[in-house]
Amino acid sequence: MRVLVVTSTYPTPSRPGLGGFVRDQVDALREIDGLELELFTYEPGAARNYLRAARDLRRAHGRHSYDLVHAHYGLSGWVARALGRRAPLVVTFHGTDLRHAVVGPLSRILARGIDLPAPVSASLARDPAGGLRGAGKTRGAAILPCGVNLDRFGPRDRRDARGRLGIDPSGRYLLFPADPARPEKRHDRARGLAAAAGAELLTYAGAPPERIPDLINAANAVIATSEREGFGLAPLEALACDVPIVSTDVGIAPVALRGVAGTLSAAYDARTWLDALRPHLDAADPRIDGRRRASLFGRNRMADRVFEAYRDVTRGTVSG
């Protein structure tokens, strides 16, 4: 099977942290026997960037034959339409593309006319603010998340991780697993929580991708305070490192954290969250048994699901 992936969300030399989850899925798909995968990436931005991308896509791939085209994010789905309708089109919707005031309506229009809309979580598919009810030409939607990279995220010695980061080996640290500039991640909640707990708050701001596993392992606990998530890899990455995680009950967190001792998935409440965090902040090296749960959502396992969806689409057997 020959597949073309189209996306504007992919690491570049100038933006190495952009779309690592898409790259992880592409890499995992390339390991599957019987699947030949090609990649077309472009720079996001103003409307002219997408028009230019559509033109470049036609020039680069318009004469080639594919069994299926897979786009990540709604606007990339529209770019992929530049190839016409010669191959089935699958579009993975990651959340922001469905909830954005302008891009959201365009994404939902696209979803009604493609072969397989693929939101990254069931909650996203059902979201009344931007879900995909009635999407898909005939077959409905499939849930196709990217998954966590278990090769990259795993337990590391906490003292060593702190040494590499140049922080106090005996300090009390909480990690806000996002860029504080993203308002939906609610850095304000994390900042207030850390102050109340007497802990220093670490964040991903300015951190290169290779430093992220050290940041997770250096923390006493990860606090994912987001008000919304399409899927949300942060809880899974913490689980993969056996690091305690407290998360709002959005995206995959309620499913991923259910029954895992030392974790919490609940609506944000400072008192409840502080009670959950104190044992981890008081421990010298707090750990949880999380990696086994994270493995259920590993990138290779999720890539197998994507490949099965490809096969179903090309056979015309996908059901909602």
Q: What is the arithmetic mean of pLDDT over 32-61?
A: 95
Does 242 score more than 50 pLDDT? yes
Q: Are residues 182 and 211 in the same domain?
A: yes
Same domain, 230 and 249: yes
**In terms of domains, do 59 and 114 share one?**
yes
Confidence grade of residue 319 (pLDDT, cut at 50, 70, 90): very low
Average pLDDT estimate for 253-277: 97
* pLDDT score recorded for residue 130: 61
Together in a domain, 239 and 126: no
Whether residue 280 sits in one domain with residue 250: yes
In a domain, 266, yes or no: yes
- Quick one: pLDDT band at residue 195, thresholds 50, 70, 90? very high
Q: What is the pLDDT of residues 55-106, one digit of tens each?
A: 999 999 999 999 999 999 999 999 999 999 989 999 999 998 998 889 999 9
Confidence at 276, pLDDT banded by 50, 70, 90: very high
pLDDT of residue 316: 81
Whether the per-residue pLDDT at 128 is higher than 80: the answer is: no
211 lies in the same domain as 302: no
pLDDT tens digits, residue range 116-125?
Answer: 999 999 888 8
Do 21 and 132 lie in one domain? The reply is yes
Do 84 and 209 have their domain in common? no
Q: pLDDT (tens digit, 9 = 90+) per residue, 140-160?
A: 789 999 999 999 999 999 999
Domain that holds residue 122: 2-147+298-315
Say how far apart CA 235 and CA 256 lie, in whole Å.
Answer: 8
Give the chain's mean pLDDT: 94
Write out the DSSP string of the chain. Answer: -EEEEEES-S--SS-TTTTHHHHHHHHHHHTSTT-EEEEEE----SHHHHHHHHHHHHHHHTTS--SEEEEESHHHHHHHGGGTTSS-EEEEE-SHHHHSTTHHHHHHHHHHTSSEEEESSHHHHH-TTT--TT-SSSS--------B-TTTS----HHHHHHHHT--TT--EEEE-S-TT-GGG-HHHHHHHHHHHT-EEEE-TT--GGGHHHHHHHSSEEEE--S--SS-SHHHHHHHTT--EEE-S-TTHHHHHTT-TT-EE-S--HHHHHHHHHHHHHSSS---S-HHHHHTTBHHHHHHHHHHHHHHHHHT----
Residues 240 and 209 in one domain: yes
pLDDT for 3: 98
Mean pLDDT of 163-191: 97
Same-domain pairing of 71 and 186: no
Number of domains in the chain: 2
Percentage of the chain exceeding pLDDT 70: 95
- Residue 254: pLDDT band by 50, 70, 90 thresholds? very high
Q: Are 47 and 126 contained in the same domain?
A: yes
308 — pLDDT class (breaks 50, 70, 90): very high
Query: Judging by beta carbons within 10 Å of its beta carbon (0-12, 13-18, 19+), is residue 129 exposed, middle or buried?
Result: exposed
